[in-house]
Amino acid sequence: MNNVQLIARHFVKTVFRSNVFIPVFTVWLALIIYAAVTGYTTYIRENKVRAAYQKKARESWEANPDKHPHRMAHFGSFAFRMKHPLSMFESGMESYTGNAVYLEAHKQNTVNFSEAGFSTGLLRFGEISVAMLLQLVLPLILFFLGFGAVAQHRENGTLKILLSQGAGFRAIVWGNSIGLFSIGIIFLLPVLVSMLLVVAIQNQAIPNAGLLIRSVVIAGSALIFLWIVSVVAICVSTAGKTSAAALLQLLGIWLIWAIVLPKTLQAIGSYLHPAPAKIQFETAVEADLLKLGDSHNPDDEHYKKLKDSVLRANKVDSVQQLSFNYSGFQMQEGERMSARLYNEHLQRLYDIYDKQNNVSYNAAFIDPFISFKNIAMAFSGTDFTAYRHFQQQAESYRYNLAQTMNSLQMKYISNKKLGSNDKPYSIERSHWTTFPDFRYQYQDLRAIAKQQCIALLSLLSWLLSSLCCIYYTSGKAKAI
């Protein structure tokens, strides 16, 4: 057995024999169990509620009798976002982005009903999730267990003895890093067990969730993250003159990486790239919509030109002579134009949000906590991109619904004007009962990997940097 293995084994034994390991691990285990159980029950409860409301919305849609298809377009429906099973591990932005949107013709509504909107002010302090414990609490524990690994031996004078017995600083740093990393894996095991249980329970129920691959990526990222934390703790302990100084430095590093830097970067992003308030955004959209004209008004200036061009193209004198319902065609054109306008405004807003997020996203190369958090949120389906993915699916469904109703109007509704005693035009209800219900599809894994390439690369760069740090620190270390 070489010196590295001996030192690693000695470090693990020392931690096990200490008076703090059992109490700390017991509290840690209790927190993990609490976070995992509450996360899983929240996932089950929320998805049950959302599925029930999605079913009610569908039943309400299908319960409509024979009527005019444009009335059905305005009747609309709802789209509910189902939580990803791994959201029990990392809640991310789930509580703030909303989970339901009302879908109607001519208008794109915002996603509403976030958990934060119905909660008390305590939510602003964060939720106790498994990922939060892994990202914030476990590094603090490892720093606490590792701060005296080398510095304490220097203070006690045993470091000289260790060096005189043939153990070089490189072996000491490597051995203690591996030992502390092994302790980190022990703390990680309950997390991995909880994730495996989720995969085993939910993988068959939701086969398209990519649970296994997502879990492997998160687990692999967690291992790299814990290795980085372990190396930082041992290198600081090796470079520190005293264990107290090493502990103080490690607490400062944790405070900067875990709290100060992420919050500061968010504030800088918002300052450099200010986003419009909701009322400003909606006012700008409404102003541009008015310029497009009113698709419900055949005498509108824009749509009058459209009508004239349609009549010329079909070589007829009036809309009554057309082979299709002209009002349906006009609604179809109006829907296309308004949807394009909404999408342009939304894209500009998203571009601002992307610029804000990129300030902290690109800082992953100077903060491994940001790297790991971004990866965990993305592969748990709880980041902002996952929210946008739902919004895009909901809009695609809304647009398809509105245009389908417009097509039905063009095909089945006559251009003839009704008399005062005539029965309103309507079509059979089977046309909307056969229209498919909204089904949320989770984001493709390849798309997630592409979006998180910087976070993945930064974590790998931190892994490489940790190896360089070991060699640099061991080369500069002194016995006294």
For 83-141, give the DSSP string.
PPGGGGT--TTHHHH-SEEEEETTEEPPPB--HHHHS-GGGGG----HHHIIIIIHHHH
Grouping H, G, I as helix, E, B as strand and the rest as coil, residue 77 is strand
**Residue 119 pLDDT exceeds 60:** no
Interatomic CA distance for residues 224 and 126, integer angstroms: 25
Contact 258, 135 (CB under 8 A): yes
Instruction: Give the count of alpha carbons within 13 A of 358, CB side only.
Output: 10
Torsional sign, CA 99, 105, 109, 113: negative
Residue 101 binned pLDDT confidence (cut-offs 50, 70, 90): very high
Cα(104)–Cα(101) distance, integer angstroms: 10
Q: Report the range of poorest mean pLDDT among 104-108, 297-301, 444-448, 465-469.
A: 297-301
CA 399 vs CA 173, 203, 337, 412: distances in Å: 61, 32, 11, 20
Phi, psi of 103 (to 5 degrees): -105, 120
Beta bridge partners of 80: 100
Ranges of H-type helices in 273-367: 278-292, 301-314, 326-361
pLDDT of 292 reads 83
Domain that holds residue 339: 3-415+426-476
Domain membership flag for residue 402: yes
- Alpha-carbon Rg of the chain, whole angstroms? 30
Q: What is the pLDDT of residue 202?
A: 83
Residue 87 located in a structural domain: yes
What is the number of domains present in the chain? 1
Residue 272: inside a domain: yes
Q: What is the pLDDT of residues 427-455, one digit of tens each?
A: 999 998 899 999 999 999 999 999 999 99
Q: What are phi and psi of 79, to 5 degrees?
A: -125, 125
Cα separation, 128 vs 133, whole angstroms: 7
Task: Give the three-state DSSP class for 383.
Answer: coil
Kindly compute the dihedral angle of the four CA atoms of residues 52, 53, 58, 62, in this order, to the nearest 10 degrees.
100
Q: In whole angstroms, give the CA distance from residue 127 to residue 132.
A: 8
3-class state of residue 343 by DSSP: helix
Q: How many residues does the chain have?
A: 480
**Dihedral Cα 92, 93, 95, 101, nearest 10 deg:** -140
Q: What is the pLDDT of residue 117?
A: 44
Q: Which residues 6+ apart lie within 8 Å of 58 measured at CB?
A: 77, 437
Let me know: does 393 contact 441? Beta carbons within 8 Å: yes
End-to-end CA, the chain: 27
- CB 329, CB 310: distance < 8 Å: yes
Condensed to tens digits (0 to 9), the pLDDT of residues 381-419 reads: 999 999 999 999 999 999 999 999 999 999 999 888 877
Asked if pLDDT for residue 163 goes beyond 90, the answer is no
The predicted pLDDT at position 114 comes to 53
For the sheet containing 107-108, what is the strand order? 77-80, 100-104, 107-108
Domain for residue 470, yes or no? yes
Chain CA centroid to CA 12, Å:
36
Q: Is the pLDDT of residue 50 over 50?
A: yes
- Give the pLDDT confidence score for residue 173 in this predicted structure: 93
Q: Which amino acid would we find at residue 99? A: N
272 class by beta-carbon count within 10 Å (0-12 exposed, 13-18 middle, 19+ buried) = exposed
Asked, for residue 259, whether it belongs to a domain, the answer is yes
Q: What mean pLDDT is predicted for residues 278-307?
A: 84
Q: Which residues of 198-228 are buried (b: 16+ CB within 10 A; e: fewer)?
A: bbeebeeeeeebbbeebbebbeebbbbbbbb
Residue 421: inside a domain: no
The DSSP secondary structure of 227-296, one letter per residue, reads HHHHHHHHHHHHH-SSHHHHHHHHHHHHIIIIIIHHHHHHHHHHHHSPPPPHHHHHHHHHHHHHHH--TT
53 within a domain of the structure (yes/no): yes
Domain membership of residue 420 (yes or no) is: no
Quick check: 198 pLDDT over 80?
yes
